[in-house]
């Protein structure tokens, strides 16, 4: 199967000279269609940068990124940006920006909001919605684009536990709805990683230190012997 993403020795550097920050270094990774990849690691390890790179918001400073351009992509951010208009208009905006006529975009937006359980809030100002509801609108906006690849940057980290469960259930629903959809998400929540991912990539200081199927990753014996840093990270999180 041809990869959706293929990174070969890719690096991302910010700044120049002595102030250069190496956000990602010599990163090689392949993700194939239908995989559910969780990116984990401490704050600042490069998870968000990697997602931005995969989504085309950043270009590699060196190395190569190959993307399957035929597959539509959408990304949901930790704190979604919703414009000062209704939830429906926010969803329709994404469709309109991809070339759909506004009237058609509004109809599709209604369907998308219905599918995330937000139909009754469609005409409410988006910024008056709760954090969980806003994230659901953001997911609807992404889903409405019918992406084959969905990138999620810590989509539940700024939510309360109830909203967290709701949004996670929604992501699971989206993933189950289309088994061919590729999901790449960053998370600090290892329980969530266990529930959603099929593969776990552990990053440290912009490098991939461990890349394992999810069951293997959480089988502590294997992780401890092969990837001690990843093991201590997981252990620390579970304490």
Partner 1 sequence: MTSFTDSAAMALHLIFSLDPGLMAIVARSLWVSVCATAIACALGLVLGAVLGVARFAGRGALLALLNTFLAVPSVVVGLVVYLLLSRSGPLGFLGWLFSFKAMVLAQALLVLPVVTALTRQVVEDAEGLHGEQLQSLGARALLRSLLLAWDERYALLTVLLAAFGRAISEVGAVMIVGGNIDGFTRVMTTAIALETSKGDLPLALGLGLVLLLMVLLLNAALSLLRRRREQEEGVATALPRLELSV
By CB under 8 A, name the binding residues for partner 1. 52, 55, 57, 74-75, 77, 80-81, 83-84, 93-94, 97-98, 125, 127-128, 141
Tell me how far apart the alpha carbons of residues 197 and 185 are, in angstroms, rounded to a whole number. Answer: 9
Task: Please report how close the Cβ of residue 99 comes to partner 1 at its closest, in angstroms.
Answer: 8
Q: For residues 75 and 183, which CB has a smaller minimum distance to partner 1 in the complex?
A: 75
Q: Taking the CB of residue 38, how many other CB atoms lie within 10 A of it?
A: 26
What strand order describes the sheet that includes 149-153? Answer: 73-76, 149-153, 182-186, 36-40, 199-204, 207-213
Task: Please report how close the Cβ of residue 76 comes to partner 1 at its closest, in angstroms.
Answer: 9
Q: For residues 57 and 219, which CB has a smaller minimum distance to partner 1 in the complex?
A: 57
Tell me how far apart the alpha carbons of residues 205 and 159 are, in angstroms, rounded to a whole number. Answer: 26
Task: Please report how close the Cβ of residue 84 comes to partner 1 at its closest, in angstroms.
Answer: 5
Q: For residues 29 and 51, which CB has a smaller minimum distance to partner 1 in the complex?
A: 51
> Which has the closest alpha carbon to 179: 73, 34, 22, 38?
34
Task: Please report how close the Cβ of residue 119 comes to partner 1 at its closest, in angstroms.
Answer: 22
Tell me how far apart the alpha carbons of residues 220 and 235 are, in angstroms, rounded to a whole number. Answer: 9
Q: For residues 55 and 194, which CB has a smaller minimum distance to partner 1 in the complex?
A: 55
Q: For residues 55 and 66, which CB has a smaller minimum distance to partner 1 in the complex?
A: 55
Task: Please report how close the Cβ of residue 158 comes to partner 1 at its closest, in angstroms.
Answer: 14
Tell me how far apart the alpha carbons of residues 158 and 200 are, in angstroms, rounded to a whole number. Answer: 22
């Amino acid at each position: 199967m041809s990869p959706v993403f293929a990174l070969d020795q890719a690096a991302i550097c910010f700044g120049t000279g002595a102030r250069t920050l190496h956000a990602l270094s010599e990163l090689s990774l392949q993700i194939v269609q239908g995989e559910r990849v969780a990116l984990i690691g401490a704050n600042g390890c490069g998870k968000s940068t990697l997602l931005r790179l995969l989504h085309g918001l950043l270009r590699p400073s060196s190395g190569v990124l190959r993307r399957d351009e035929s597959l539509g992509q959408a990304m949901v951010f930790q704190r979604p940006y919703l414009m000062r208009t209704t939830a429906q208009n926010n969803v329709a905006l994404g469709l309109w920006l991809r070339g759909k006529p506004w009237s058609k975009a509004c109809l599709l937006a209604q369907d998308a909001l219905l599918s995330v359980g937000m139909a009754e809030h469609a005409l409410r100002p988006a910024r008056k919605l709760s954090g969980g509801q806003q994230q659901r609108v953001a997911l609807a906006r992404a889903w409405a684009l019918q992406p084959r690849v969905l990138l999620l940057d810590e989509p539940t980290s700024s939510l309360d536990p109830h909203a967290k469960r709701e949004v996670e259930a929604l992501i699971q629903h989206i993933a189950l709805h289309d088994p061919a959809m590729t999901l790449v998400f960053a998370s600090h929540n290892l329980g969530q990683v266990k529930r959603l991912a099929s593969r776990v990539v552990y990053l440290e200081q912009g490098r991939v230190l461990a890349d394992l199927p999810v069951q293997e990753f959480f089988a502590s014996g294997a992780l401890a012997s092969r990837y001690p840093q990843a093991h201590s990270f997981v252990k620390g999180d579970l304490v």
